[in-house]
Each structure stands twice: as C-alpha cells, then as structure tokens.
Structure 1
C-alpha cells in the first residue's frame, strides 16, 4: 500500500462491494493514530485515508509524511483508492517480475490508465514520482478532461512555466477539480519536485472528494488553505452541469404549470407521466451548481405497494437542463393512498388532478371537505398530467395526494456531467433503435454461481449482478442477452412496515455498450436470524463488514461455514437470533424496468 515494499497491501472486507461513505469532519489538531502526524499539515488527509485502509503506516507507529513515494508505491495507492475499469490490456515490464510485491498494483495502474511504462520496456518501479506525474496519473486514471482554457487554469500557479507541455492538460483537469494541494503556498505547485507521502495523501483525498466519495475537510483545518481552488467551474446556473451529485442527493421539485406548493391528486392504480420543475439550484459538495433551478425532471408515477396497500411512487427517467436532455436515475419515497374525507381545503387549493381523480373528487367529497365548500379554481379539473396509461374513474373512498415538497425525490445513482460527456439522454423515438419497454421484468442472477448477499437493515451496498435470461422484442430478436452485466445498489426500503431493502439498478452492459437504466426489484423483507437455516449460508455468501461482524458476534463457537466467510457456529436459533439481517438472493427476485430502455441496433 503506502508503506515500504515489505508491508503487504491490506484490503478491507468487501472493498469491491461496499462504497466509500462520506466521512464526518473532526476538529482541527485531533490526535493522530500515527506518532509523527499530529502536527503535520496533511493530518486530516492522512488520518482519514488510513481509516479507510487506503494508506498505512510503518510497524513503529510512524507514517513518515515527508518521505518520497516510488512509482510502485503510488500504483499500490491508486489500486486501493479507486475502482476504475480497465481500458487496455496488460503488458509485461522487463523490470517487474511476477513475484514482485507490487506486480498486481502495477498491472492495475497500467490497464486502467493511471500509469504507463517507458519506451525501453521498463516501468522503473523504484523511481520516485514527481508531483506533476502524480497529478497527470490521477487525471488520466479517472478519465477527467480540462474544461475551457488550459493556460488560463494554470495561471493560478506562479511557477506554471515549469509544468512540462505534456502534463498541462492533466494538471489543468486536476486543478479544476481542486485536486492539487500545495504546501506551504497554494499558488506554488513545484511540479517537478518529488511528491512526498503527505502530498500523495492530499491528492488522493481531494480526488475522492471530486468523486463525491469523501466530504471536503473543514475550514477549521489549517490544511484547507493549501487546497488549490480550480475556479474555472463557477457555481452559477450558466455553468451548470459541471460536477457530480452523489447518490442520495435530494432534488427539490414543484409541479410544472402549477403555483408553488400545488399538489397532484390521482386515483389508486393510475400510471401517470409527469413533469416536475427543479425548485432551487442543486449543488454538489464543492458548492457547484450541477442542476440549476428551472430544470425539468420527466418521469412516471406507477402503482407501488405501501404497507400492503396500493400506493404510488415517482420514478424519474429524464432531466432537461436548458434544451439538453440527460438520463437521470431518481425516485421518490412510496406514497400511500388516503381517504377522501381526510383531504382539507389547503390540500386541494391550486391542485392539479388527473381526469380520473377529478371525477372521483367531484362524485364524492365528504368529511372535512364538503363539495359545497369548494370554490371555483380550487381544483383545476380541466388539467391532466401527461399520458394516463391505466387511469379510470375511481369510485373507491381513497385517492393519492402527492405533495411535491414531501415526496423525497432522491438520486439512486451518482449524476455526473461535464461538457462533452456521454450522459446525454437517448431519444426512444430515434430511428434504428430497439426499446425495452417500461414494465418489462427480467430474472436476475449473481456474477458468481449461487451467490447471496447479507447486510444489516439500513445499509446501502453496491453490487454487480447479471440477467438470468434474455429479453426479446416482438420480432423475437434478442435485445438484452442472458448474462448481461447489471450495476446497481441494494438500498434501504420500508417493506410491510419494516426496514427491508430493494435492489435498484442504474447501468446495464450489453456487449461493449453501457446504458443507464431505471429499474428495481420488489421489496426484500428483513429476516430474523432465528428464521434462517444453515442452508441459507451455504455456498457463496457475501456479507458486508457490518453484517459479518453481527453474525460473528452472535456465534458461540466460531465454526467456519459458508465457504469460510461467516463464523456461524450455533448462530441459527442460538443466542442473538432475534437480530435482523437482509438476505438477498438474486435468483429469487425479478428486476422491473421503471422507464423505457432504448438500445442501438446491434447484432448479439
């Protein structure tokens, strides 16, 4: 990792499954876990990365922040910090043997584009890496490009003339994302100076901040003054779409064509296309405006089970920033139906209704709101939201009241846009496109045979699954082949009043093409340990660190079962068996597309 070659690279439990979560900020000058870091300028970067098992110290308890970093050590760090896909094939280097301690890390750094070799076929693993090379490597591996003028961006450095020409685009791209950290003067890069362990820790931390995977350090830390502010991505609507919004970001909205605060009324069972307007600027952790106020979010309300009764949920499929459409993966909280008699005048004032809901309210409004109390214009009965697929006149005593302020519309996947990116929305009406229709269901399977996932309620766990069967169009052509990779997350969800989970997909890989998707499974109920049998833990069981610890904690004998992953012992039915876990078996659920998926015409 970050220590000398004799120290093995430590890998946290399931680092390929569990995402790096934002870290709460600690007070300045807190005691470091290392003996020589408490008074070092880079302490907040070093300590946080060490807690994340991205870097490590030495057996004597020191970190040695001023020690230079070799190319091999840098390769080990980026392998531990980032999970970038390979963009080129492996190649041998004449000075890196298969048995060399950093061989796997060097292979990762090369195939993902972080580092390259030399023209003579060497890698020079023991060569100390200069600052400029480290910054270019991070920009290259993370596939970030400069926006606007490279030279203008680099003017913030007094010594910009010392930056080699080959490195200028990479340094500019990193600078625009606030990745460089220059001690003791933010305006002096010293590009050709050897990078220290403290420098590299700061760069890696800031790169993770730029991805939304770590929170920025607080201004109470002295180190904050050394972070270079890129400045070419201003937080203004005119430059919107120049950053990343992390999964879980809430999108404040209001109904298009309605007064602020207006509600939407529909009947139970309706499937309604709807457009919302973003009510205020949505900014990322760097306070950049990514989605400006006035942008439009297009999606659909679909029937959704809420506490064993039929309610609704909104799933977004398209975001309009100005006149440009982008694919977005977001959904609201489930919204339960309510009795008409519970509606108040305030609920209905200025509200927009579907035609079916208008008829239902017109035919019978009782309780707190009497029909005679409604004044003209309270309900805009002449308006309908989008295209009703199912909506029929409802004679039941329940309707669904959607309050945009309370619908909790949140991103199910990171939304990232930089000018020239490929996140543009694919128009399903374009020629030569095949389409997987909304509502299509497909069987799921794990990447590894018979794999299941165990987590504790409330966790969010990124997973990669695959389709368990092919999806065909009406001409019996394969649209999505069996075994296609699906990327997504298992996220918390209330199921029958209990804290369960749901698999939410955000990408599917078909051949060499990656498509953004909006799809999800049904809810997964929590299970008590007492209800599980030893057979549930046989084979490939992948447990999050929290679940693994919980399961080990209630084991009385520590026997190794489940392929050695979980120490179950007398867990089943034993002490602590009242605890709840989420056991997710991909083969037992189906994934439903919540929005159409348009595919380029190709032969499978």
Structure 2
C-alpha cells in the first residue's frame, strides 16, 4: 500500500473533501493530488522536511497509525500528556515519534490482532492491514457536546450533543481523560464542560477530552506536568500555600536527581532541598576552585587556599604540589 493509495482510502472512507492544489513539490499533476491536498488541508497528513510527499513510497504502520489518530481528532494529545501511560508494544516506547498515535490506535482497538506485542513501526503496512485499521476507525463512535451531569459511580457522563439531543457517554474502565490539556479523571469533569469523546464500536468511550472553567486543580496539574511529574499536583498545591516541609515529603530524591542533572553537585542539591543557605556559598567556592584547578593543572585545595588568603595552607599545599610534580617527572624518566 503506497502513501498515495492510503491517502485515497482515508479520504473516501471518512468523507474528506478533495483539495484543489497540493503543497507538496512532488504531487503536481498526479492522480492522487486531490486526495492528498484535501487531507493536508485538514491537517491529517504530513509530508517530509524537504517538502515532498513521496506518494510511491510504502506507508508504514507508524504512519498509518499517525494519520488515523488525527482522523479521530486525537492529534491534540502530546507526549508530555502521556507520562502515566504504559507502552503496549515492546518496540514503540515513549521516546518513539509515533508513540502517542500508536497507543491511541491500540486503545481504540484499531490495530490488527496479529501484531501481538511487537508493532514494527517502520514496516510497510499491507493492504489488508490498512484496510483493517481504516474500517476499525470508521466503526469507532464519536460524540461532542456539553456536560449536563456526571454519574461518578457508574462512570457515566450525560451530555447535550451538538444536535441538541441528550446523550449518555459510558466511560471505559481504562478511559483516558484530559481536562484543559492535562491528565484528569471523571472526578474532574464539571457540569457545562465542553467534551469530545472517542469510543469503541461497543459504545464505551476510551478517550474523553474536556474544556471548561479553569480550576485550581487544573493549574497544579499543569505545573506538575511541566516538571515531568517530579513535583506532584499535591506538592504544587502545598508550595502555593508556602508549606515547604509538606511539599518536600517524597519529592527530595527525584528533585535532587534533576538538580544534579542540571550541573549541581550532590552536596549543593542537598543544601538547596534542606534550605541550608549557609552551606551554598562555601560549596560554590569549592566548585570554582575545582574548575580553576582543572584549568591550571594544580590541586583544587591550593586554589581554594589562595582564594581564602590562607597563605600558610597555600604554602604547604604548594610544597606538596611541587614534590608530587618532581616525583611524577622522575617516574616518567625511569
């Protein structure tokens, strides 16, 4: 199945209007131009960095999943919004460019069963595989509307859909919920929220994306997401109240690791987390001495003694340094 053929299949299956002209340099005057142009306008397909579409190239499994995730309107899910997901395939982990769309396809039961636990994202998709995936996505259920009520016990969200009719959304046990762009749960859904749901053919919503009035919970979750989960929403909330000791519980190990990654020493990270401000200047002086010593080729202790104007210590260290240098040169001569 070529990329051009897949574009035609998707365009016809989901009713995308043909486009008049293509933005891709290699699509002019080709039979697939209207289909590719229409999907590109709808932001369903992408080309390559060099401005080409490469219509004759085989569509890969990962590319097919990415296109269908956008068809489902779930292209808004970004990698940073999936930190609590667990990869369903051994060869498509969180660092893979197609991780999100592949997981979306898996959660919507769009992936052929014979894939098993290995997705093989770069493998060319066969006609049978693309036909299965497109048909499965076409059977998915979509709903959009405004929340009129939430039954948390039965995992039901009542909405008034865009046609003005009452509709019941039954959430799947493993439903993925986002509210105002951050991970949430049914507890977070509010009356009058605008929601978009994507479900399986059996009537269970697998994805629920809600937008509504910004709450304090939204803000704390957003800040937590910016730290890649190192600081939890509860800790963010505690920090906002000035409760440093409460926020620090359980946070220190992960945050200390991040500070070290940023270039601080273990001692400096510990001093920051324990708010030991008195230790920080001394630690900074030690780091400066280490850097200068490395640059000058002398012991950091000698540099630190000179910085502190501890002439007695500096003289002793200098004598030791000279002795070590002479010994080193002598050994090299042997």
Taking structure 2 as the reference length, the TM-score comes to 0.44
Normalised to the residue count of structure 1, the TM-score between the two structures is 0.26
- Structure (1/2) with the larger helix percentage: 2
Of structures 1 and 2, the one with the larger relative CO (CA 8 A, separation 6+) is 1
